[in-house]
Amino acid sequence: MTETIVVKIGSSSLTSEEGGLNRERIAFFAHELAALHEAGHQVLLVTSGAVAAGFRKIGYASRPKIIHEKQAAAAVGQALLMQAYQEAFGSYGADGGVGVAQILLTRADFSNRKRIQNAQMTIEELLKQGIVPIINENDTVATEELKFSENDTLSALVGNLVKAKQLVIITDMDGLYTEDPRKNPAAKRIDRVGQISDDILSFAGGAGSSVGTGGMRSKIDAARIAMRGGVPTFIGRVVEPGDLQLAVSGQGRGTYFDTSLHNLPMKKQWLGFHSMPQGRIIVDDGAERALLEGHKSLLPAGIRRIEGEFHAGDVVEVCNLSGQTLGRGVVNYDAWQAQAAAGLSSEEVRRRVEVVRMEVIHRDEWVTLKN
């Protein structure tokens, strides 16, 4: 059975500290990816580097911080980046090498179910035809700050979208350590993680290099998204020939994030990771247990309070009394109806509030996000 592998490479691995592309590194990664492809895997590459590749070419002395300058640098850099990848993949093997295709995505694409389904079908067709899709954020049209967590989050969303066998996030660190090993030689690497706890999050550091925007924390957050979607994740180094194959085979230089969960269907993915919540519902301990352990629907009796304005059919977040997000669901009530019904038994709701159905959120329209 063909396995799909999503590999994410950040700016710091592809460019120099001063900006501009490092052609040797791009050639190295292209050959590592092409080797996986030739071994029978379906390979997708999520790449950063457009802004870093373009800012010197456009005339900026350092990586720009103003949005329109970043967008201009990305417009120049994206063309340079794809040209470099095409040349590198084209030089691998015989018969013109491995074909590649460019796909640019934004957060808005993921929040629109039709658009992301179209992207999914395009990716599947490219993989079927033996092409390596190269995916990046569409920086030149982004309306928010150009930061998709250094594309770490994007890679996790793509991994879930294609139901990948594994997500490989390449970084300049050989995995997650209890402390920064560059500052404390006694720091210990964590080889395997089964659940991302508060302790695991506390080990993650801050931002990365001057040409990138990500750090270990964004990679851990991405691993959590991927794991929740049923995709195991590797975070570590790929610096020598064969390292990527070792990472995929379970012998890589880094940390493996395992998951016992199964791939979420497309509807649940959209609901959990791509939708835009319009409000929040805070529930009591009993409702929390019913949602997380009993896999039940949310009833009015378990609601403590409502935040925001929403309407029936909108997506809302559900939080516990401590403010932790439990999950998301499609709500059957308007905000005022949910507030009026909060804490009431089903019989009282029938007498006092006119609603179409009793469940505030039906279990079929719910996805859990808490570990």
CATH code of 154's domain: 3.40.1160.10
- Segment 89-111 shows an average pLDDT of 87
pLDDT, tens digit, for every residue of 257-272? Answer: 999 877 778 788 888 8
Q: How far apart are CA 272 and CA 329, in angstroms?
A: 8
184 pLDDT tier (thresholds 50, 70, 90): confident
pLDDT at 285 over 70: yes
**Residue 217 annotated as binding?**
yes
Domain shared by 308 and 252, yes or no? no
Residue 158 token pair: 């793509």
**Residue 208 annotated as binding?**
no
**Residue 48 annotated as binding?**
yes
pTM (2 d.p.):
0.84
Contacts of 170 (CB under 8 A, 6+ apart): 7, 8, 9, 10, 13, 29, 236, 237, 238
User: Using alpha carbons only, what angle is made at residue 365 by residues 363 and 369, rounded to the nearest 5 degrees?
Assistant: 80
Size of the chain, expressed as the number of residues it contains:
371
pLDDT, tens digit, for every residue of 188-246? Answer: 999 999 988 888 888 876 444 433 334 788 899 999 999 988 999 999 999 999 999 99
Q: Do the beta carbons of residue 27 and residue 88 sit within 8 Å?
A: yes
248 pLDDT tier (thresholds 50, 70, 90): very high
State whether residue 129 is helix, strand or coil: coil
**CATH code of the domain containing 294:** 2.30.130.10
Q: Which of 239, 267, 295 is the endpoint of a domain?
A: 267
**Residue 323 annotated as binding?**
no
**Residue 218 annotated as binding?**
yes
Domain shared by 253 and 358, yes or no? no
**Residue 56 annotated as binding?**
no
Q: How far apart are CA 367 and CA 296, in angstroms?
A: 11
Q: Is residue 11 part of a domain?
A: yes
Name the domain count of the chain: 2
Q: Is residue 62 part of a domain?
A: yes
Q: How far apart are CA 286 and CA 268, in angstroms?
A: 24
Q: Is residue 76 part of a domain?
A: yes
Q: What is the greatest pairwise CA distance in the chain?
A: 75
**Residue 95 annotated as binding?**
no
Q: How far apart are CA 245 and CA 209, in angstroms?
A: 26
pLDDT, tens digit, for every residue of 345-368? Answer: 999 999 999 998 999 999 999 999
What's the Cα-to-Cα distance from 281 to each of 45, 288, 298, 331, rounded to whole Å?
38, 11, 10, 10
Structural domain boundaries, residue 132: 4-267
Helix (H) or strand (E) run with residue 122 in it? helix 113-128
Q: Is residue 272 part of a domain?
A: no
**Residue 59 annotated as binding?**
no
Q: Is residue 223 part of a domain?
A: yes
**Residue 219 annotated as binding?**
yes
Domain shared by 146 and 210, yes or no? yes
**Residue 216 annotated as binding?**
yes
Q: Which of 218, 241, 267 is the endpoint of a domain?
A: 267
**Residue 40 annotated as binding?**
no
**Residue 128 annotated as binding?**
no
User: CB-based burial of residue 178 (10 Å sphere; 0-12 exposed, 13-18 middle, 19+ buried)?
Assistant: middle
**Residue 178 annotated as binding?**
no
Q: Is residue 173 part of a domain?
A: yes
Q: What are phi and psi of 315, to 5 degrees?
A: -95, 135
